Chain A
Amino acid sequence: MPYDAWKDNEYIESLVKELKDNGTNVIVGSLDKLINWGRSNSIWPLTFATSCCGIEFVSLGAARYDMARFGWEVARSSPRQADFIMVAGTIVHRMAPVLRRLYDQLAEPKYVIACGACAVSGGPFKKSYHVVMGCDQIVPVDVYLPGCPPRPEAMIYSIMQLSRKIKVERFFGGVNRREKMQKEFLESHPIEGVNDVK
């Protein structure tokens, strides 16, 4: 991709604008920067793969694409130790409550990347009776990554996009107090039994 396109990023710009509009405290702002620098360079994924995209995620972990270069290689098997879920693959009806529970078990602040056409919108299985048409019906999504499956380069781009988002976020009074936002989403998308926010 051309370098200019890399810089052209309306979504991140809108986040920065929102931050600047509200003004930033000098001390808290500097601390934010420091913490975000650390957070954005060590985002740990949850090992979560349902189908084809998961295999490309394995390739991403191997020597050639080597995500360890960026500090993402610590793929955790327990959601309680992970920072984000890469929803790699189709989510079907039976899997939907499981994904939601995994999301609920992630420690705050948490992020979701919808990886691949199936997770974005149902993809090639649009006509299916058992496929959830996009995982954003179940969990809030931060980055949408199209492709069937996306190439490992595209996966690197998507996680970098997430990392840039983390970099410009407000940590104090922002994402470390995200319960309110979470609560709003969970209330508008109720899943009984899984939902621990009442």
Chain B
Amino acid sequence: MADFQQTIAKLFPEATFEQADTLMVNIADAQWHSLAKQLKENPQLGFDYLITIVGMDWKESMGCVYYLQNKHNDVISVKVTTTDRENPMLHSVADLWAIAGIYEREVYDFFGIVFIGNPDMRRLFLSIDWKGFPLRKDYDENPDINPVPTDNERQSDFTYTYVETPDGKVEKKEVRVFEPEDFVVNIGPQHPATHGVLRFRTAVDGETIKKIDVYMGYIHRGVEKICEKDTYPQTLHFMDRLDYFSAHPYHHGLCMTIEEAAGIEVPRRAQVIRVIMDELSRIASHCLFMGTFCMDLGATTMLFYTLRVREQILDIMDRTCGARMTFNYECIGGVMQDIHADFVKDVHALLDVLPANIKEYNKVFTGNVIAKNRMEGVGVLTRENAINWSVTGPSGRASGWSCDVRKTHPYSIYSELEFDEVIHTEGDSMARFKVRLEEIEQSARIIAQLIDNIPDGDYCAKVPKVIKLPVGHWFRMVEGCRGVFGVYLESDGSTMPYRLKLVTPSLPAAAVVNHLTAGSKIADLITIGGSLDYIVPDMDR
């Protein structure tokens, strides 16, 4: 870390540094783009993975916190601010990291910060007629200002880009989303193969896809804003409802962040239970992925085979957590209640039947010649592009990118466990399918190591009734079932978070669809979308 500080200080003497959980660089907006270029391209720095852009409103100023990671898994953050609340403007880095384009649109949607140089400066989740920027602290939430729409949403074929002229002025330019002669087909939001309410505006040339405009926000629930009005234990239950398959890992992530901030030590028993639950949900999630993905490809039967295992896992969860899907099981300091008396027995029963099931899946589907033809070589994502688009999780690992947070930033007790990070290098839909199938085996391996050695002791630490965090900010990542789930928490010392930003893996997965499908046939869109395995409430939040 000190090396980075020296390197950056040498190049940018005006930059100031803070040491929080990561090194944080404060830089003026005028120098931000050249610093970003150095951060990405300087071989001593090499920060090629943009984890997230956190939009912030500190009342007297507004700005963004950028989290970056390099190939040695060092994380650095950069803070860029502006004091102009009327027309806040920052420079875009969309030309350096492809994913920044969509992240900056999100910040613009929530805070109204315009990014100079971003080719597509539209709102992302809210409609073009929405008044105000909801995550600003002075946003007026009166429902009369933004009533439930009584009309079809106004659509626009134009987007905007802000260009800086040589004399320092910023000009707003109108750009077309599609060419005037393009034939645009609308897929979604109500479509069985989009995995929820996602909409693709697809420009096609015959059967070939020219461009896809991903249109989100059909399930944008404003979780980040609601969390600012809730106490810390209350914020937890929204984690169940983002990516409902990785409820346990997401809970784990937020709990860890709050525990670290409050200095709470989690008992060993709770740690072990949490990891077992995380891995159980990973198996359940990948099972459902296989079922729905195969169903998208036309193999409906597979759903019944994979849901059989999932139901078995849900039974285990049901007994211990008391629910089938939204568990709210992990709490600050440990877990809500102790495991059920039959838990160990049930998990053993599951581990016994898993190998036979995986064999069956391979027999029924993986080796099938139709499945092979539909998946092999379809939607190839190279390693460079996976990093450039921040596509993490199994989809990133299918492109040969080692991005498993359990290995890169081991949390909880993962550093003590033996398991392999499943990596394929083909980067096609088949690889993405296979990675998930093999991850089930690895998760089973982790569970097998732990299930007979659950230590005795408390399942929850003693925590104060009212949880107050000290002033500061924290950023933690965990491996959800679909990729990196990051939590940025900023506290002003009260019982409620000042800002809670949730970094979800589905947003990049949806953003990359345009890049992956360009030039392929429209039937492959379903395969590619299915194999990326995005969850729409997870991307919209």
Contacts and interface: CB of A to CB of B under 8 A. Distances in A.
B226 A93 contact: no
B225 A94 contact: no
Interface string A46-74: 01111110111011001110000000000
A64 B310 CA distance: 11
Contacts of A151: 324
Nearest to B238: A124
B325 A52 contact: yes
Contacts of A96: 148-149
Contact of A95 (B126, B152, B189): B189
Nearest to A76: B192
Interface string B102-122: 000000000000000000000
A54 B196 contact: yes
Given A50-B197, A64-B311, A92 B221 contact: yes
B241 A51 contact: yes
A97 B153 contact: yes
A127 B146 contact: no
A124 B537 contact: no
B222 A130 contact: yes
Contacts of A90: 219, 221, 537
A39 to B, nearest CB: 24
A128 B222 contact: yes
Interface in A130-174: 130-132, 137-138, 148-149, 151
B148 A132 contact: yes
A194 interface: yes
B314 to A, nearest CB: 8
A127 B229 contact: yes
Dominant secondary structure at the A interface: loop
A131 B307 contact: no
Contacts of A125: 221-223, 226
A32 to B, nearest CB: 33
Nearest to B234: A124
Contacts of B311: 59, 62, 64
B4 to A, nearest CB: 39
A58 B218 contact: no
A93 B148 contact: yes
B497 interface: no
A193 interface: yes
Contacts of A102: 190
Contacts of B139: 129
Contacts of B225: 128-129
Interface string B415-433: 0000000000000000000
Interface residues of B, number: 50
Contact of A51 (B134, B150, B191, B196): B196
A149 B323 CA distance: 9
Contacts of B238: 124
Interface in A93-130: 93-98, 101-102, 124-125, 127-130
Given A50-B219, A128-B225, A192-B150, A148 B326 contact: yes
Nearest to B222: A128
Contact of B304 (A51, A62, A132, A191): A62
A94 B221 contact: no
B152 A97 contact: yes
A83 to B, nearest CB: 16
Contacts of B483: none
B218 A94 contact: yes
Interface string B207-222: 0000000000111111
B157 interface: no
A38 interface: no
14 contacts: A58-B303, A62-B303, A62-B307, A63-B307, A92-B218, A92-B220, A92-B221, A93-B127, A94-B153, A97-B152, A98-B190, A125-B226, A131-B222, A191-B150
Interface of B: 125-127, 134, 139, 141, 143, 146, 148-153, 189-192, 196-197, 217-223, 225-226, 229-230, 237-238, 240-241, 244-245, 288, 292, 303-304, 307-308, 310-311, 324-326, 536-537
Given A94-B220, A129-B143, 6 more contacts: A51-B537, A63-B308, A92-B217, A98-B218, A129-B141, A130-B222
